[in-house]
Amino acid sequence: MPEATPFRRILLKLSGEALAAPDGYWLHPPTLAALAEDIARTIESGAEIAIVVGGGNMIRGARISAAGWIDRATGDSLGMMATVMNSLAIETALNAAGVPARTMSAVSMPTICETYARQPALHHLDKGQVVVLAGGTGNPFFTTDTAAVLRAAELRCDAVLKATQVDGVYSADPKKDPSATRYDRLTHDEAIARDLKVMDTAAFALARESRLSIVVGSLHPPSSIAGILSGEAPSTLVAP
Ligand SMILES: Nc1ncnc2c1ncn2[C@@H]1O[C@H](COP(=O)(O)OP(=O)(O)OP(=O)(O)O)[C@@H](O)[C@H]1O
Ligand SMILES: O=c1ccn([C@@H]2O[C@H](COP(=O)(O)O)[C@@H](O)[C@H]2O)c(=O)[nH]1
C-alpha cells in the first residue's frame, strides 16, 4: 500500500494544459489513464478526493477576449464550459480505472451532469466517491484556482493540491526565468506580497482567510500526485 498522506480530504486542482496531447490536441487518453491510476493510488493511501480541473488546454477567457472579437464575460463562459468537458473526461478515466467518480457542475447542465450543491457533494465524498467539480465558480472573472480554494473551504478539505506543469512555487516563473529558485515553504502573505503568479491573488487571499494549506507540485513523471503527498516528489507548501 502507498505511504499514508498527511491530509485526509484533499481538493486536487489539476492543470487543464497537462491533459493535452504532445501534439497539442485537447485531450490525451493515455495521459488521462495515467492520471486516473495516480489518483487511485492516492485514494488507496487513505485520501478522499475532490477535483477541480482548469481549462487551459482549451480556452482561457482573458486570453481569447484580449483579441477583441468576444467580450470577457462570454469568453469566460466558454472557459467554464471547457472545464466541464475536461471534468467529464476525468470522470470517465476514473470510472475506467475502477474509481467511482461523478461530475457536479456550478453551471447548470442537467442533461449532462449533476448541478453542484454543497450537501450532496459532501455526501458523495463521505461515501468515498471522487467528486469532480466542473464549471469553476460558475461566475466570469474568476479562475479555477479560486474555485478550487472556494470548494476546498466549503467541503471541509484539509488542503488544496495544485498539480500543474512545474514542481513548486518559484521566485519567478521557471518557464521564463531559468535562474528562478524553488521555495520549500511559504506563507500566504509571502506568496501574495512577492506576486508569485503560480496562482492568482484572489485564490491565495481566500486560502489565507480560510487557513487552508496549498501544496504545489508537478503532474509530470517522475513526479506524481501520490509522490507529492508522500513527500517523495518535490513540492512547495503554502501554509499559515
Ligand atoms: N512564481 C512561480 N512559480 C511557479 N510557477 C509559476 C510562477 N509564476 C508563474 N508560474 C506559472 O504558473 C503556471 C501554473 O499555473 P496556470 O494557471 O498556468 O495553470 P493551471 O492553473 O495549472 O491550469 P490551466 O493549465 O488549466 O490554466 C506554471 O506552469 C508556471 O509556468
Ligand atoms: O470560476 C471560474 C473559473 C473559470 N472561468 C473561465 O474558465 C477558464 C479556464 O479556467 P483556468 O483557471 O484559466 O484554467 C478561465 O480562464 C475563465 O475564462 C471562469 O470564468 N470562472
| 18-38: pLDDT as tens digits | 999 999 999 999 999 999 999
ipTM value greater than 0.95:
yes
Q: Is the pLDDT reported for residue 82 higher than 90?
A: yes
In Å, how far are 40, 54, 103, 123, 125 from 155, measured between CA atoms?
Answer: 20, 19, 15, 10, 9
Beta bridge mates, 159: 10, 213
Q: Is the pLDDT reported for residue 205 higher than 80?
A: yes
Distance CA 240, CA 190 (A): 10
Burial 60-87 (b: 16+ CB within 10 A, else e): bbeebbeeeeeeeeebbbbbbbbbbbbb
| Angle (deg, nearest 10), helices 201-210 and 144-154 | 10
Q: Is the pLDDT reported for residue 2 higher than 70?
A: no
Decide whether any atom of ligand 2 lies within 6 Å of the 47 Cβ.
no
Spacing, Cα 135 to ligand 2 middle (Å)? 8
Q: What is the pLDDT of residues 164-191, one digit of tens each?
A: 999 999 999 999 999 999 999 999 999 9
Contacts of 179 (CB under 8 A, 6+ apart): 172
Region 74-94: mean pLDDT is 98
- Complete edge-to-edge strand list for the sheet that includes strand 235-238: 114-115, 101-105, 130-134, 48-53, 9-14, 159-164, 213-218, 235-238, 185-186
Q: Is the pLDDT reported for residue 1 higher than 90?
A: no
The three-class DSSP label of residue 120 is helix
Q: Is the pLDDT reported for residue 5 higher than 90?
A: no
Q: Is the pLDDT reported for residue 3 higher than 90?
A: no
The answer to whether 14 and 54 are in contact (CB under 8 A) is yes
Task: Copy the grid coordinates of residue 214.
Answer: 496549498
Spacing, Cα 120 to ligand 1 middle (Å)? 31
Ligand nearest to the CA of 76: 2
Q: Is the pLDDT reported for residue 195 higher than 50?
A: yes
pLDDT score of 6:
82
Residue 175: burial class (beta carbons within 10 Å; 0-12, 13-18, 19+): exposed
Q: Is the pLDDT reported for residue 105 higher than 50?
A: yes
* Closest protein CA for atom 29 of ligand 1: 165
Contacts of 104 (CB under 8 A, 6+ apart): 113, 114, 115, 116, 117, 120, 121, 124, 131, 132, 133, 134
Q: For all residues of the chain together, what is the average pLDDT? A: 96
Region 3-12: mean pLDDT is 84
Q: Give the residue with greater pLDDT, 138 vs 5.
A: 138
pLDDT score of 133:
99
Q: What is the pLDDT of residues 107-144, one digit of tens each?
A: 999 999 999 999 999 999 999 999 999 999 999 999 99
Atom number in ligand 2 closest to CA 141: 20
Q: How many CB atoms lie within 10 A of CB 38?
A: 20
